[in-house]
Amino acid sequence: MLHLVVYDISDNYTRTKLSKLLERFGLTRVQYSAFRGELNPNDREVLARMVRKFVQDERDCIFIIPLCMRCASTAVVISNTGVELVKDKSIEFI
Look at residue 28 in the predicted model and tell me its pLDDT.
93
Q: Do the domain assignments include residue 75? A: no
pLDDT for 88 beyond 60: no
Q: Do the domain assignments include residue 33? A: yes
> How many Cα atoms sit within 13 Å of 27 on the Cβ side?
29
Q: Do the domain assignments include residue 35? A: yes
Going by the DSSP 8-state scheme, the letter that residue 10 receives in this structure is S
Q: Do the domain assignments include residue 90? A: no
Could you tell me what percent of the chain has a pLDDT over 70?
A: 86
**Number of separate domains in the chain:** 1
Q: Do the domain assignments include residue 80? A: no
Q: Do the domain assignments include residue 83? A: no
Domain range for 63? 2-68
Q: Do the domain assignments include residue 54? A: yes
CATH number, domain at 24? Answer: 3.30.70.240
Distance CA 72, CA 49 (A): 25
21-56 pLDDT, tens digit each? 999 999 999 889 999 999 999 999 999 999 999 999
